[in-house]
Amino acid sequence: MQLRIERRMVPHIPWGLLFCVLGIAALGIWNLASASRPPHAPVWYSQTIYLGVALGAALVVCLVDYRWIQRMTVPIYVLNIVALIALRFVGHKAKGAESWFVLGPIRVQPAEFMKIGVVLMLAKIYHDDFRPGQGSYNVWRLWKPVLVVGVPFVLVLVQPDLGTALMIFLSSLTVLIFGKVRWYLVAMMVVGLLAGAGIIWNDYIRDSPEPRTTIVRHHLKKHQSQRISGWLDPEADLRGSGYHAAQSKIAVGSGGMTGKGWREGTQTGLSFLPEQHTDFIFSVWAEEHGFLSCLVLLALYGGLFSMALAVGFNARDRFGAFVAVGVTAMLFWQVFENIGMVIGLLPVTGITLPLMSYGGSSMLSVMLSIGLLVNISMRRHMF
């Protein structure tokens, strides 16, 4: 393994992508300086340290030839699987989930890095299995991608961490579709979505004079079921399951067009807004800076997604293209779920907002992913 950068790589550095990433991260730290009221103060200082460490790690990833990363994909994936299994024995339980390793003052969430491991492994499979003239993937050829996704999905789901498991599923599904599947598999996915909607209708909405026979609801933990019912009927339990979403929507709506001003948010300042430095950080931004600033933030995310996809479309090989698409999907679905959650369009799942929410594991995993994108972009004309 060699760490180097050559002069001919410099013109291919995606400076626009880096501008969007650093811009969002800087706004995130500024926003955390307002959101981090006692007892969480001063998490913005810790986030600055996390960002510095993550940038250093991303730089190392940029300097390594990504063909070496391709050769190390299987060990990276296996190591992440082992870490998820180890959580069952030495993991720290917090907020009902056994998702963390606690090493003194440092907490590490392996599921964050498992998302990268899954993307790399899927990219390797699609790269190694490619044969010129071969058609789309049928159900039999998908057994390896499905196995690669299914094992970590189940391990994260049983922690239980439904939100991160959902992100692994959605980002992997995006990669599978990008890899060209037969039309009937797409039809099966659509049928699956319709079946999911039918299950929700049966378990939570359907009126029945007799005791309702549920399909999935009785298998969910109480707080997971309450989140779904609170999403479907936000006014039903404002002091219980609907509290988080209700307070978040109050914060977002009260910001108006231009916001109340930095550190002037009442929902934030009076601590009505739950998890305001992590899951609901976007609510803080909307309350204090308003709708127009939300559009600016969304434009930065949009620039990040579009330039990340451009890296994939210009990649030298299939491995680089699939990694770029997987990273883009991973970031997109996380932003989509988090913002949809805080404005009440989606159920509350405990998903952080990339580069904005407080968290060392989240920051490091995102910056490692960005490092992969920069690496692929710099080396697109070298092989």
Residue carrying structure tokens 């330039």: 307
Q: How far apart are CA 38 and CA 280, in angstroms?
A: 16
- 283-293 average pLDDT score: 92
Domain assignments of the chain as residue spans, ordered by start: 12-128+137-206+216-379
User: For the segment 357-377, what is each residue's pLDDT rounded down to a tens digit?
Assistant: 988 899 999 999 999 999 999
User: For the segment 36-57, what is each residue's pLDDT rounded down to a tens digit?
Assistant: 766 666 888 889 999 999 999 9
Confidence of residue 116 (pLDDT cuts 50, 70, 90): very high
Structure tokens given for 233: 């009927």
User: For the segment 147-158, what is each residue's pLDDT rounded down to a tens digit?
Assistant: 999 999 999 988
Q: Looking at the predicted structure, is the pLDDT value of residue 212 above 90? A: no
The whole-model pTM stands at 0.89
User: For the segment 239-248, what is each residue's pLDDT rounded down to a tens digit?
Assistant: 666 777 788 8
Instruction: Please give the pLDDT value at position 98.
Output: 63
Residue carrying structure tokens 């007799």: 210
Mean pLDDT of the chain: 84
Q: Looking at the predicted structure, is the pLDDT value of residue 271 above 80? A: no
Helix, strand, coil proportions of the chain in percent (round to 5)? 65, 5, 30
- 74-90 average pLDDT score: 90
The single-letter DSSP state of residue 205 is: I
The single-letter DSSP state of residue 12 is: G
| DSSP strands (E only) in the chain | 92-94, 97-103, 106-108
Instruction: Please give the pLDDT value at position 152.
Output: 93
Better pLDDT: 43 or 117 = 117
Instruction: Please give the pLDDT value at position 141.
Output: 77
Instruction: Please give the pLDDT value at position 355.
Output: 93
Instruction: Please give the pLDDT value at position 334.
Output: 94
Instruction: Please give the pLDDT value at position 210.
Output: 60
Q: How close are the terminal C-alpha atoms of the chain, in Å?
A: 16
Q: How far apart are CA 214 and CA 200, in angstroms?
A: 9
Q: Looking at the predicted structure, is the pLDDT value of residue 182 above 80? A: no
Better pLDDT: 218 or 12 = 12
Q: Is 101 exposed, middle or buried (0-12, 13-18, 19+ CB in 10 A)?
A: middle
* 249, 235 contact by CB (below 8 A): no
Number of H helices, E strands in the chain: 14, 3
Q: Looking at the predicted structure, is the pLDDT value of residue 221 above 80? A: no
